[in-house]
Structure 1
Amino acid sequence: MFTESRNAGRAVLSLGLALALALAGCAGTPKGMLSPVQTAGDGTSKVDLLVATTRAPTSAPGMLFSGERGPDVSLDRIVVSIPPESARKVGEVQWPKKVPGNPRTDFVTSDVERLDSTAARGWFRKTAGRKRQLLLFVHGFNNRYEESVFRFAQIVHDSGTDFAPLLFTWPSRGSVFAYGYDRESTNFSRDGLEKVLQEAVASPDVGSITVLAHSMGSWLAVESLRQLAIRQGKIPPKIDNVILASPDIDVDVFRKQMQDMGPDRPHFTIFVSRDDQALRLSRAISGGVDRLGSLDPTQEPYRSVFEKDDITVLDLTALRTGDSLNHSKFAESPEVVRLLGQRLIDGQTVTDSDTGLGQRLGSVLAGAAQSAGSAASVAVSLPISVFDPRTRENLGEQMGAVRQSVGNTFYSAAGH
């Protein structure tokens, strides 16, 4: 027994060190990136964000808030300048190498303004337009305040969404070794996020709300929604769409959270990736219980649960990005970011034809006489698979035709 315990501890330590080294390779963003920089035209774009936070303020230049916990929810308007398209790739944040950054090559801040609730409502009226739609983003583990601001600005810009963007940033210390502190900070912030949601729902200016959350932020988002449902008897209908990217949630706890929300809950979409190394570590240090963001949606009992609860799952396992941990594919993949803006944030149904799977299956059927090896190479090119109870029956018919046409060898190679 003691040998098994020591081996498990070594496995967690080894995985943790590998994760730390991988994250260290992405580190090095300078502090103080939020000091406003004068920007000219020159092809730059602007993203106007409202930022709500439960972090403690700091007097450090260009930082605004630290990773410590604050006494209440604070609101700021931050305008982020994004460099010209010729200087960047979709899905990437061009972090400054030093401050102040260069607007022609780096993400920089062009304006910062402290707001109260009345001013925040005015910001929404100016930003949201006729649709009156709000996108609320909750970041994940290991994020400084300014890092979460620039990442959300990148998602908003690259997705092309016209929703008014609201970032909720909670007290993360921005360190891979602060997992426990960050986890407790999400619990600390549940009331704060619920308060923000309540005020958005109560505003006659807001027509609908989409919640987008990543990693550990998914736990915070779902817990706050659960809390709101218990308090009010149901989730307010304005909150009609929830997207969880690589959710770091115990799968057993998620089932209970969904039950507690009741039947009148928003539509949920979940991004999963079975090669997510960050969630692999989370699973190891959380008693070996599967994390929601690394499940195989085709396997039981998860498949039946997703079908029963009408949850759409997008499997990104085959997708390759520059993220060595495979934990931020939703933000770094141009295909996924565009899909967010074109359909998912707006709550539209997503099918395999939207991700390219439908067209590729058609191509396979048309060339059914090709060899199993060639067919396998086609299967590898299917980067995003959609598992949606509303469209799975049609997908099953297509896959049946594929099996008949090219045989079980191809079917096995495709991994379905």
Structure 2
Amino acid sequence: MAEYDNTAFLELLRDHLSDIQALCGNDWESVGRQIRLILGEYVNADHESSDRLMEDLFNLLLTTRARDLVEEFSAARRRTKNVAASGAEIERPGFETEARKAGFETAVNVSEWLPEPGDFQYRSVQVFFATDRKATNEDNLNNYFGAARDRLSYGAVRVSIPDRHKTGQVERPFAWFPESPTRHVALVDIVQSQPRQFIGDLRNTLRSTRSQKVLIFVHGYRVSFADAARTIAQMCFDLNFTGIPFLYSWPSKGSFLNYTRDEANAAWTRENFIKTINMLAELTGPVEQHLLAHSMGNRVIFHGLQFLNASSRFKQVILAAPDEDASTLESQIDRFLGRAERHTLYASSRDYALRASKWVHGEPRGGQIGVVGLDSIDASAVDFSRFGHSYFHDQRALLADIFLLVEHGHPPDQRPFIRRAPNGSNWFFQP
């Protein structure tokens, strides 16, 4: 990028700073600080570094709600470059030096209007998603996607993790008090995109991550889109996951009283789940895909994995507290065993939510007793809270075990808290 191009971009940034701030909304403080840090480096950079920093700035702005405006910047930059290149001005001696000086002055001018650098009050996790929930388009991001069925849509949601976050917790406001990204795990931005752009964004983000990994999460019964996004963001943050969090959200009603409706929707969503996973198979290269399902979400993947394209394979498939008939899982397990290098099931006899499900269905659930043929791990010894159903993401020891699975692929006998069960076929957790 030539100096006149950098300067033109900075001048456009200066002229539209208030528009960018308005579009970023609650996330402006964090974005503004990052812009200021980049501009601070820019004024002391050499020619090569200044180009890199402007690209960093451009890519940062592309991740915000101001993306459309920034893309207009890009078009304007190209026009500026073409006009300059077509005239004699660019060949005048000293032009680059003057352009560079003008760029520095503009950068300093923009910095004066940005938040002071310092410790961020929260960090954010970007979660890519696919969902067949109907969008409500409400301003309240907690209600942006409802519980009605719709065609598949794609995008990315950014979730705040406050500085005082504690491992295993999803910090939420008490009762009716307002949420704040500096104190709570909260949705700060949702951007929808078309399938082709979505895959392109996913590929570009993968290139910038420390590892070529995607962790796909399928939530369970009585879970809203916002709750599911908060869960996978908190979990990936606590795992220090170096890849991309991905959420598949089906239209759960999010209510205790709608269990049978959630069962119907978990069955209905199967074809959309298959379509999504087959689309992710287009991510060429050495990309590791891991699949994690919780509770009723296991029904989605259990019945969907059997019909995937041959190219859709996973490194790890993790079934956490599956709300599926244990006998059905065991009798049909051969239908999907070849889809991953390792299949792990976490179960607990102290899972009160699954006790209720057993009472409804009359048969034990896979998340209560485990299944022969998988790496079934009895997690009953974990110090549970509440209903004992969300232990996979709110207990530090379980998070550490999943970390060893996803990051290193360790089998049960190489993980510190896992012991062989007396029956010789399953395992149990001993924290």
Matching residue within 115, 122, 138 for 2:200: 122
Find the counterpart in structure 2 of residue 344 from structure 1.
Answer: 405
Is 1:146 matched with 2:221?
no
Q: How big is the shift at 1:255?
A: 2.5
Q: How does 1:17-416 map to 2 (within 5 A)?
A: 36-40=26-30, 41-62=119-140, 63-70=143-150, 72-84=151-163, 87-97=164-174, 101-128=179-206, 129=209, 131-204=211-284, 207-228=287-308, 232=309, 234=310, 236=311, 238-261=313-336, 263=338, 265-286=340-361, 288-295=362-369, 302=371, 305-306=372-373, 311-322=374-385, 324-341=386-403, 343-346=404-407, 348-351=409-412, 354-356=415-417, 385=419
- Seen in structure 2, the aligned counterparts of structure 1 residues 254 and 131 have a Cα distance that, compared at 3 Å, is same
- Seen in structure 2, the aligned counterparts of structure 1 residues 68 and 385 have a Cα distance that, compared at 3 Å, is farther
Instruction: Please report the TM-score for the alignment, with normalisation by the length of structure 2.
Output: 0.66
Contact 1:37 1:109 in 2 (8 A): no
- Seen in structure 2, the aligned counterparts of structure 1 residues 181 and 385 have a Cα distance that, compared at 3 Å, is farther
- Seen in structure 2, the aligned counterparts of structure 1 residues 102 and 338 have a Cα distance that, compared at 3 Å, is same
- Seen in structure 2, the aligned counterparts of structure 1 residues 190 and 237 have a Cα distance that, compared at 3 Å, is closer
3-state SS of 2:169 partner: coil
Find the counterpart in structure 2 of residue 23 from structure 1.
Answer: none
**Structure 1 residues without counterparts, runs of 5 or longer:** 1-34, 357-383, 397-413
**What value does the CA root-mean-square deviation take over the aligned residues?**
2.8
Contact 1:246 1:272 in 2 (8 A): yes
- Seen in structure 2, the aligned counterparts of structure 1 residues 183 and 130 have a Cα distance that, compared at 3 Å, is same
Task: Summarize deviations over 1:361-389 as a string: whole Å, max 9, x none.
Answer: xxxxxxxxxxxxxxxxxxxxxxx646699
- Paired with 2:315 and 2:422, the residues of 1 have a C-alpha distance of 17
Task: Summarize deviations over 1:226-264 as a string: whole Å, max 9, x none.
Answer: 122xxx4x5x36323200100011112213432333656
User: What is the identity, as a one-letter code, of the residue corresponding to 1:245?
Assistant: A
- Paired with 2:286 and 2:259, the residues of 1 have a C-alpha distance of 35
Instruction: Please report the TM-score for the alignment, with normalisation by the length of structure 1.
Output: 0.69
- Paired with 1:216 and 1:264, the residues of 2 have a C-alpha distance of 20
Contact 2:302 2:336 in 1 (8 A): no
Contact 2:219 2:294 in 1 (8 A): yes
Contact 1:276 1:326 in 2 (8 A): yes
- Paired with 1:49 and 1:57, the residues of 2 have a C-alpha distance of 17
- Paired with 2:205 and 2:400, the residues of 1 have a C-alpha distance of 21
Contact 2:252 2:262 in 1 (8 A): yes
Q: How big is the shift at 1:118?
A: 2.3
- List structure 1 segments (4+ residues) > 6 angstroms apart after TM superposition: none
Higher relative contact order (CA 8 A, sep 6+): 1
Q: How big is the shift at 1:78?
A: 0.9
Task: Summarize deviations over 1:90-109 as a string: whole Å, max 9, x none.
Answer: 10101134575222211223
User: What is the identity, as a one-letter code, of the residue corresponding to 1:213?
Assistant: A
Contact 2:210 2:242 in 1 (8 A): no
Find the counterpart in structure 2 of residue 22 from structure 1.
Answer: none
- Paired with 1:280 and 1:350, the residues of 2 have a C-alpha distance of 29
3-state SS of 2:281 partner: helix
- Paired with 2:27 and 2:211, the residues of 1 have a C-alpha distance of 31
Q: How big is the shift at 1:145?
A: 1.2
- Seen in structure 2, the aligned counterparts of structure 1 residues 120 and 263 have a Cα distance that, compared at 3 Å, is closer
Find the counterpart in structure 1 of residue 96 from structure 2.
Answer: none
Task: Summarize deviations over 1:29-52 as a string: whole Å, max 9, x none.
Answer: xxxxxx855444535221011011
Count the aligned residue pairs.
Answer: 312
Task: Summarize deviations over 1:155-201 as a string: whole Å, max 9, x none.
Answer: 11111111211100110111011000001111111011111110111
- Seen in structure 2, the aligned counterparts of structure 1 residues 149 and 141 have a Cα distance that, compared at 3 Å, is same
3-state SS of 1:204 partner: coil
Task: Summarize deviations over 1:112-165 as a string: whole Å, max 9, x none.
Answer: 211112222233223333642211000011011111111111111111111211
- Seen in structure 2, the aligned counterparts of structure 1 residues 127 and 332 have a Cα distance that, compared at 3 Å, is same
User: What is the identity, as a one-letter code, of the residue corresponding to 1:349?
Assistant: H
- Paired with 1:206 and 1:200, the residues of 2 have a C-alpha distance of 13
Task: Summarize deviations over 1:40-74 as a string: whole Å, max 9, x none.
Answer: 4535221011011011111333222101111x111
Percent identical residues: 25
- Seen in structure 2, the aligned counterparts of structure 1 residues 264 and 181 have a Cα distance that, compared at 3 Å, is closer
- Seen in structure 2, the aligned counterparts of structure 1 residues 42 and 355 have a Cα distance that, compared at 3 Å, is same
3-state SS of 1:211 partner: strand
- Seen in structure 2, the aligned counterparts of structure 1 residues 162 and 38 have a Cα distance that, compared at 3 Å, is same
3-state SS of 1:202 partner: coil
**Structure 2 residues without counterparts, runs of 5 or longer:** 1-24, 31-118
- Paired with 1:354 and 1:204, the residues of 2 have a C-alpha distance of 31
